[in-house]
Structure 1
Amino acid sequence: MAERSDSEEVKLLGMWASPFSRRIEIALTLKGVSYEFSEEDITNKSSLLLQLNPVYKMIPVLVHTGKPISESLVILEYIDETWRDNPILPQDPYEKAMARFWAKFVDEQIYVTAMKVVGKIGEERDAVVEATRDLLMFLEKELVGKDFFGGRSLGFVDIVATLVAFWLMRTEEIVGVKVVPVEKFPEIHRWVKNLLGNDVIKKCIPPEDEHLQYIRAHVIVSSCVLSLGFV
């Protein structure tokens, strides 16, 4: 839980292994916002989750002074607009638009494509891996000359793209193929090292051993790489 900075009621319905839930924890921790975390069983969703997010019935859901906000990208922007310290999004309108563009690219292109690796074998899997790498190359080029996507400090795209750093890259051992080899993606690997040097990131990413056990036990069985009821 993040350090308390005000008396406002903030609750997060999430799941410890979800990249979408963890990105909200990163943002709240970066902002210094105290929050209550409610762990959800995504295979047996609580009545509270179904009540607060009746449209998608997914985590994460942020509840701020009794008002629920759903979808992780929407929640991140809400957090940034509500708690102004340590801004996540750029202030320049063009740079802000580009940050939103790359965040959607991660979720709608990279994530969706990478999910297809599990359950594929032979040439089919090779084709999905190559398609994922083609998409990742856009991020590789965006990182040239930068410590983080926004420049020198952790920002919106970095928080969203932790999905690549700590979920996609962690599944490589399990699926048996290097989707993000260092020789092909040196900038992404350098960026991951920068993330690992950030105190907020270290505090908010799931423990690797426990996380990998979860992936083996749940994600692989369901033939889904990164998510099962997250958005």
Structure 2
Amino acid sequence: MRVLLVEDDAGLAAQLRRALEAAGFTVDLAADGEEAAFRGEEGRYAACVLDLGLPRRDGLSVLTAWRAAGVATPVLILTARDTFADKVAGFRAGADDYVQKPFRMEEIVLRLRALTRRAAGHASAELVCGPLVYDSVAGSFTLEGLPLKLTAFEARILGYLMHQNGRIVSRTDLSEALYGEDADRDFNAMEVLVSRLRRKIAPCRIETLRGEGWRLSPPE
């Protein structure tokens, strides 16, 4: 899952980025409100972590502009502002969740996983495809009740496919979910990873639909 992290404190941004990437997220970083507004308008992120006290443009005005433009990306506000009025303003602007500084990194990961899961239409914390189960709280997979051993990239691919709930995923969509904005996108390597993952999750299937992409399906 690809997320936008908007935070002007370089030290905190680096800590958050490490924690999110360790949890399987792909992270793009914006350090001020103008950059955040530009990146977020494209609406290609699974979620956004948005600080409010930003240089150049306040985070609340950025969020208000996104919602006015029809950007539906789930937004988790991260701020030192602690009054009830501040929280009301954040939710009225279109926030989906609100966390006050200081916080635990684990809490941000859990809240983001919940936001992306609900945005994809899943009410339960467990995503199921036949005998394949993804625990979105722990970020772990089981197949027929046994732990499934995956590399970090394999886990990102499988988690993304399971969030799509049987929908077709194009090569472009999958690559944007896997790679950061500045990363080189290796489509051949991605094909190899999908092929390797297909063998690991059998009898569940990753179907290849020529000219369209891939789809995760339960056993026939």
Q: Which one has the bigger strand percentage?
A: 2
Higher relative contact order (CA 8 A, sep 6+): 1
> Could you state the TM-score of these two structures normalised by the residue count of structure 2?
0.29
> Could you state the TM-score of these two structures normalised by the residue count of structure 1?
0.28
Q: Which one has the bigger helix percentage?
A: 1
